[in-house]
Every structure is written in structure tokens, then in C-alpha cells.
Amino acid sequence: MDRVSEAVTDSVALSLPEVSSLALRAARGAGYPWGLCEDCGFAAAWLAERGIHWSQPLLRRLTGPRGAKVRPAPDKWASDGPICALVAGVTLADFATLPEGPGESGVTLGRVLDPVFLVPFLTFAAERTGQAYEGVNDGRPWLHVSSSGLAVAQDVSGLEVADVALRPTAAIDASHQILTPCAPEPISNETYARLDALALRMTVPATAASAKRAGASGSDND
Amino acid sequence: MSCDPLSPYPEAARYRRTPDEVMRLSRLGLSHPTRLSFLRVLLRRMRDEAWHFTRPVFEFDARGVGRAVYCAEGPERTYSLVAFGHDLPPDARTDRVIATAWDATFCLFDGVPDADDLARLDANVPLQEAGRVSSKELSLSRANRSVRLFEHVVGALSQGRQPDADALAATGYLMRTTAVYGSGKFGAASHASIAARPEMSAPFQAEMLSVWMIRAFTVDLVEDMARHRGGDKAVRLDPQLKRSLGVGNSTGLGMAPFLVRHPSLLNNWIMVREEALARVRSLRQAGQAEVAAFRAALSAAQDNAAVWDSTHLLQVERLNDLRTGLTTLENHVANHWQPQADHPWNALWLWGNAHLPFEAQEALLALLLEPHGAIVDDLAACLHADEAKAFAIDGAMTVAEVKTLLADHYAWALGRDYSGQADCARFWYVSEDKLEPRLGERFDEPGGDQELPLDIARRASALELALRGRKADEPIAKLLLKAPTHRPMVRRVQTTKSFPFSEIRDNLISEDLLPIDMLRCKLAFFGASRFDPRSDRWVRISLFQNCPYPDTLSGDMGS
């Protein structure tokens, strides 16, 4: 169970739009292509809204290894090493109803870095296929996703890498807790500062010319 | 638009304008406020639901330093404007986003603030971007005085006389807001978290409510300062002069990318307006009351155009087009238009399209909606959008389908040379100092490597090139796996399938781009009047001029 519960001091409470914007800008600052940055912003806000830790896994994802190239294939994806959860997530959603996707029989993804970032995209896949899925790591279920609910069974946010297989399932295990939308919990100032530093890399310093064009010349004392 | 299948006016469909006609900046940049503009939607709801307004806190000294609380009580909830007045030296007064001090700062509180809330807000709201608000707050804003008018009004009232009417008309406001932040900014509640409330479901209702109560505050403040200065001699502002005042607003590039980043929302705004026009055009007959109301609206529009002033060359030309166009329209309505003929409103619209400049055509659109609240006001319920629904990409869509959508909705962008200066002269970026969108000159300035993905035309063209040679039945997911750089554009192209008015059909990085056209489009939907560009990138406008105040809302507006 990964609900944020500990008391956080020295922290900042971000709104969901701020979470989304920070994650998008940080991903761009870390060098991800715009296409994945939009999905990164969406995924971070999606996790935050459900009380799932998003900031540390995001920081790991943006500063750690990028992951191997993803080669989707029916039943079992191929790669030359652990794959990035963001890339795997959007690929999973894009291929949801195609033979390479989870479809009606499931798919094995292999080793996935920061697998919590798979979760939002698996919900897209579940909505497209109308199928509920169970995520399995080393034979143990850790995730249940359907178009109507979500249950996370262990500290998936702390999981830096996991063997991930997705299997169709019929019902949510009663021991799992459905996560409903809630206000995002605060994140530590340190994590915020590191993500913000990444985000600043996609900005451009103002010049005198740009300030003048934006209206800096002249008095506003009308 | 999701409301379409439920439309009680199915015959209106054949009177709709096409996206190719509407979504060009040459028309969007000439948009006029209508009765479906967001501030009009707010005022109608508050009037119809008989909202109750109070001012439980109002404590200011002779300099205007202090605080106030204004409460707006609706059927289910109360919203409170918390206002702080400051003593700002003239050399610190700037409208730009880099400012760090203002004459007044505000937030819209969700409920009625208690002493602890006020203490927390007192410590944060005056700091604006440097402070933090919470999910109890729905907006954060600030305003500066119009120095000459503000002092003139306080001085006159303190001496027991009314201020000069011409001076009031020339400026039109006592204070102008320099930013009104909403949805989730600086810790405030997100729009999504309040969108289920009927009074907040239409776009920017919290922001509009803030500005409307700020307008009441500006008048209360000058009257209070006049009392401090003049004692028993002081008088209150004449109600007619008071009504003529709005709230000024300075707006820069920051709001332009909004229209690009929220395609399904833009679609619904435009679609609502276009459906409203189509409904009016589809009417077989014109009622006498509607004809009289149209004539009155035309006369009011001419009065507004006469006092609408600007020194910006382009806007001067446009104002000339508006004034001469409205005169031409007046003559036609008086001497040639036949309101008893079949489909008279459509006849008037078609005549306008043949004889009026674009500026006056778009004004005519607003005038045609004005007498027809009974058949168009319900469309306000369709202004919102569930943007999350449009986010997921359909990876199973075939290359052929994507190509068809590109051909149908992006023909204007394809086949152009985006390597030459003319079509890629500019780039959009985020400024390091205030994290605000800016527009750079690609061939003269650094920063192009940090370009924002607002180069829609170029991206559409690149996607079309990338699709060439791919199998028609191949799912688009395969291209996206190979080239994720196309994800934003594929998402937009797929959005146009359900939202045909979602895209501005012009190149937003061309050397000809006028960002003020994007600003005017958005501001017209807000309900802004007196659009006055100060450059091609920032403008001043007025909100709520000639609208009722909290104490005169009941029975007012004529709408």
C-alpha cells in the first residue's frame, strides 16, 4: 500500500496543475522529447491525485539510466536491458488493442525501471480493451487496474526496478484498496528543489530586447 | 461539442461556419465579446439565482492601506474576495509580471475566511508569486491604480463634487489588474476540483467573480479615502459615473499559449459561439422585441466604438473599420433590411459578409446574439471541456486515418517550407526569470534549442512527411514508438476528429504572427472591452464596464 501517510516537514504542497507542470518541465529539462514530457506531466499528476508517491520515482527516472530500447511483441516484449517505465507506459497504452499490447491474454514486459510510472498508462489500456489487469512482479501480484478502479498492493513507488508481467483478471482482490482521487500530499523541499533545477534547464534567460518587446519600456503610471 | 446531439435547433447545423473560415487569426483576432462571454454568464447566473452580497470587513487608512472582505453568497456556497491595500511608491509601479509590489492584492477564498485564514492570507497574498496560497483559495490577483484618475476621483469626492466625466471615460477604470491567477497556481485549488459546482463549471468563473468584486472594491476605496480626506464634505460617486467604470487589465504573452495548450476547450468556446450564431440565422422570423433589442444593441456598439481609443497603428485601422462598418450596418438596417422577410437574420448576416470588413462582421455576430438569449443562453452549459478524455492517444488508428485527418484539418499547414525565415522566424519559450511564455526571434536571439511545442504548423508538416511511405493500414503506434517526437502532433490531430474547432489554423512561428490576435480572441471570450494593444505582444483591456455592481445586480443587465 503506497498511500502517502507520514508527516512531512520542510515540504511544499503543490496543486495538481503544479505537479503536472513541474513534471513536464523537469522531463524536458532532463532531455526527454516533448512527446514523452506531456505524458510525464500527465502521469505525475495522475499518481499524485491518487495519493501515490510520484516525486522520488520521477527524480530517479529523470536522473537515472534512460533504459534500453523497447521492442513490443505479442505475449512478451524484447529489450537489451531494463526499460524505462515512461516509455513502456506510453507504448503499452498505444498498443493496447494491438497484438503487441496486453489485449485479452496479457503481456510480459520484462525488467522495468520505476514501474510505478506504468500505472497511469495501464489504466488507458484497460479503458481501451475493457479488460482488468493484474501486474505481477516475480510471481507476486502488486497492481490491479480496471476501467473503474485501481489497487496497489505494495510500496511500488519505492520499487526501482521490477520484472513486470500483466495478466487479465476478473475481480479486484478484497485485500487491495481502491484508490480514489484526493489532494496531493506535500513533497520534500529537497526533492522539489532538484526537480525544479531540472525544470529550469528548459527556460531561456531574458534579454533586454525580449523584455522591451514584452512591455518593459515606458511608465505604467497612467 | 457534446451538447450537439441534444440541440433543440437541428436546422441550425446548415448555417454553421466552417473551421477553415473561423479558425484563422485574421478572424479570431477580431473577436468581440458576446452574451456568452464568461463574465456575462457569471452575471446572469448570480442575478437569476438572487445571490446575496455583503462586506463584513473594510478597514483602510487615509492612504488606502488596510484590508477588506467581500462575500458573494450563492444558493449552496459562499465565495469571499479578500483584498489588501498597500502604499506603493510610484517608481515601484509596473504592470509587468516582474513586479514585486502592487497597490492592492487579492485572493478569492472558498467560503468565509476566519481570523486564522485572514492572518495566513495577510502573510502570503501581498507577496503574490513569492507567497503560497492553499486549496481554500480559488484565485490570486493584484492591481495597480490608474494614478491620475484615482487621485482625481479621490480629490473631487473629498471636496464634495463629482469627478470629471470625460476623465473617467478616457481611462475607464480606477485600477487595472496585472495578473489574475487561477486553477492551481501557487497552491490554489485547481479548476478540476471545483468544476462539478454548477456556478464554477463554465470557464474562468472564479477569476471573473474575483475581478467583479475587485471593481466594487476600487469604488469603495476611493469613496473611503475621500471620506478620510474630506470628512463631512465628502460625497459618494454618482451612480451613473460609477457604472461606467470597469476594471482595467494588462495582459501579455502569458495567456496566448493557453489557446494552443487547451484544444478541446478552445473548440467548445468557438463551437458554442458558432452554434449560437447558426441558431439565430436559422430563425424563419424576427420578433418585434428582438428587432428593437438588436437596434438598441447596434446603437450601444456604435457608442462604445466612438469612445474606444487606441494609439496602436493596427488597432487604429481596425477601429476605423469598426466605426465605418457599424455606420454602414446602421444605414442598411434602417433603409434596406426587411425584418418581416423570410429568415431575416440570415439575410442580414449574409449581407454583412458581402459588405462589411471582418472587424464589423465579427461585431455583427455579437449583435445578432444579443436579443436572442432565449435560444442561445443555454449553450453556456457547453463551454467547459473534460480535457483528460482527449489526452489518450489511439495507437490503433491507421496511418491512412491520420493522413485523412491531416488533409481535412491541416491543409493550411502542409507543403510549406519551414526552413526559411518567413515560416519559422519566431520561437516560443519559457523565460527563466518568471517562468512565463515568451516569443523569441529565431535568427537573432539565442534560446531556439529550448523551443516550446507551439510550432503546430511545422509539426503537422513534419508528421505528414513522416507518414509518407508507411503502409496505409499500419497502426500509428508503430511510428510513435520509433519517433516519439510526433506524439504531441498525433494527439492534436486525433483531437480534431471530435473537436474540429480545436486548432488555430495559422502558423504560430511565422514572421507575420501578431500575438495580440491570440490575446484578443481569448479576452473576447472573457468579455473584455476596449482592447488596446500597447505593442504586438501586450494589451490593456477593460472588464465589466457598464455592468451592474453587487448592490444593483437584481433586475439589471437586460439579459
What are A98-138's pLDDT values in tens digits? 999 999 899 999 999 999 999 999 999 998 998 999 888 88
Q: How many beta-carbon pairs below 8 A join chains A and B?
A: 147
Residue A202 and residue B190: Cβ atoms within 8 Å? no
pLDDT at A64 over 50: yes
Greatest Cα pair distance in chain A: 71
Residue B185 and residue A18: Cβ atoms within 8 Å? yes
Nearest to B488 by CA among B466, B456, B465: B456
Residue ranges of A 48-77 with Cβ closer than 8 A to chain B: 70, 72
Residue ranges of B 106-135 with Cβ closer than 8 A to chain A: 132, 134-135
Residue B485 and residue A35: Cβ atoms within 8 Å? yes
Residue B184 and residue A18: Cβ atoms within 8 Å? yes
A72-93 pLDDT per residue, tens: 999 999 999 999 999 999 999 9
| Strand ranges inside B116-264, DSSP E | 137-145, 173-181, 246-251
Residue B445 and residue A34: Cβ atoms within 8 Å? no
Q: How many CA atoms lie within 13 A of B512 on its CB side?
A: 7
Q: Dihedral of the CA atoms B219, B225, B229, B230 (nearest 10)?
A: 30
Residue A221 and residue B147: Cβ atoms within 8 Å? yes
Place of cell 438569449: B373
Distance from the Cα of A136 to chain B's closest Cα (Å) equals 24
Nearest to B465 by CA among B483, B443, B442: B483
Residue A214 and residue B396: Cβ atoms within 8 Å? no
The whole-number mean pLDDT for each consecutive block of 10 residues of chain B, a chain of 559 residues, reads 63 94 96 97 97 97 97 98 91 72 96 97 94 95 92 97 94 92 92 94 96 98 98 97 94 89 97 97 97 97 88 88 97 97 98 97 98 96 90 96 98 93 94 88 92 97 97 98 96 96 97 93 94 84 95 71
Residue A13 and residue B90: Cβ atoms within 8 Å? no
What are phi and psi for residue A88, nearest 5 degrees? Answer: -65, -40
For the packed helices B263-281 and B487-498, what is the interaxial angle rounded to 10 degrees? 20
| Strand ranges inside B478-538, DSSP E | 529-533
Residue B318 CA to residue B17 CA, distance in Å, equals 22
Residue B487 and residue A90: Cβ atoms within 8 Å? yes
Q: Is B386 on the interface with A (CB under 8 A)?
A: no
Q: Supply the DSSP symbol for B10.
A: G
Burial class of residue B34 (count of CB atoms within 10 Å of its CB; 0-12, 13-18, 19+): buried
Q: Is A119 on the interface with B (CB under 8 A)?
A: no
**Closest partner residue to B146 among A14, A216, A222, by Cβ?**
A222
Residue B147 and residue A33: Cβ atoms within 8 Å? no
Residue ranges of B 490-529 with Cβ closer than 8 A to chain A: 491
**Closest partner residue to B190 among A15, A96, A127, by Cβ?**
A15
> In Å, how far are A16, A108, A136, A169, B115 from A164, measured between CA atoms?
28, 6, 6, 15, 52
Q: If DSSP codes are grouped into helix, strand and coil, which group holds residue B214? A: helix
Reported residue count of chain B is: 559
Residue B439 and residue A213: Cβ atoms within 8 Å? yes
Residue B435 and residue A203: Cβ atoms within 8 Å? yes
Residue A13 and residue B185: Cβ atoms within 8 Å? no
- Pairing, β B437-441 against β A161-169: unpaired
Residue B355 CA to residue B328 CA, distance in Å, equals 8
Q: Is B24 on the interface with A (CB under 8 A)?
A: no
pLDDT score of B559: 46
What value of ipTM does the predicted structure carry? 0.91
pLDDT score of A9: 56
CB A164 within 8 A of CB A110: yes
Q: If DSSP codes are grouped into helix, strand and coil, which group holds residue A131? A: coil
Residue B450 and residue A38: Cβ atoms within 8 Å? no
Q: Would you state the cell numbers that stand for residue B457, as one nine-digit string?
A: 504548423
pLDDT score of A5: 39
Enumerate the residues of chain B whose CB falls inside 8 A of the CB of residue A98.
395-396, 475, 477
Q: Is pLDDT larger for residue A217 or for residue B538?
A: B538
**Closest partner residue to A215 among B134, B396, B534, by Cβ?**
B534
Q: Is B414 on the interface with A (CB under 8 A)?
A: no
Residue ranges of A 149-178 with Cβ closer than 8 A to chain B: none
Residue A204 and residue B171: Cβ atoms within 8 Å? no
Q: If DSSP codes are grouped into helix, strand and coil, which group holds residue B98? A: coil
List of long-range contacts for A54-59, beta carbons under 8 Å, 24+ apart:
A54/A19, A54/A23, A54/A116, A54/A157, A55/A187, A55/A188, A55/A191, A55/A192, A55/A195, A56/A157, A56/A158, A56/A191, A57/A114, A57/A116, A57/A117, A57/A157, A58/A23, A58/A26, A58/A114, A58/A117, A58/A195, A59/A191, A59/A194, A59/A195
Distance from the Cα of A32 to chain B's closest Cα (Å) equals 9
Q: For residue A45, give the chain B residue with the closest CA.
A: B388
pLDDT score of A179: 61
Distance from the Cα of B173 to chain A's closest Cα (Å) equals 11
Enumerate the residues of chain A whose CB falls inside 8 A of the CB of residue B534.
215, 218
CB A178 within 8 A of CB A151: yes
pLDDT score of B557: 55
pLDDT score of B532: 85
Distance from the Cα of A17 to chain B's closest Cα (Å) equals 5
Range A31-37 average pLDDT:
94
What are phi and psi for residue B168, nearest 5 degrees? Answer: -65, -45
pTM of the model: 0.94
**Closest partner residue to B488 among A34, A93, A128, by Cβ?**
A34
Q: From its phi and psi, is residue A221 left (phi > 0), alpha (psi between -120 and 50) or beta?
A: beta
Enumerate the residues of chain B whose CB falls inside 8 A of the CB of residue A33.
484-485, 487
Pick among A10, A14, A15, A66 to test the B interface (most B CBs inside 10 A): A15
Q: Is A42 on the interface with B (CB under 8 A)?
A: yes
Q: Is A188 on the interface with B (CB under 8 A)?
A: no
Give the gyration radius of chain B's Cα atoms.
Answer: 24
Q: Would you state the cell numbers that stand for residue B489, as one nine-digit string?
A: 502532433
pLDDT at A185 over 90: no
The identity of residue A120, as a single letter, is P
**Terminal CA-CA length for chain B:** 25
Q: For residue B488, give the chain A residue with the closest CA.
A: A35
Q: For residue B392, give the chain A residue with the closest CA.
A: A124
Please name every residue paired with A203 in a beta bridge, in sequence order, or none if there are none: B430
**Closest partner residue to B144 among A93, A200, A220, by Cβ?**
A220
Residue B114 CA to residue B82 CA, distance in Å, equals 11
pLDDT score of B281: 98
- How many distinct helices (H) and strands (E) make up chain A? 7, 9
Q: Is B535 on the interface with A (CB under 8 A)?
A: yes
Q: Would you state the cell numbers that stand for residue B124, as one nine-digit string?
A: 502570503
pLDDT score of B434: 78
Q: Is pLDDT larger for residue A177 or for residue B196?
A: B196
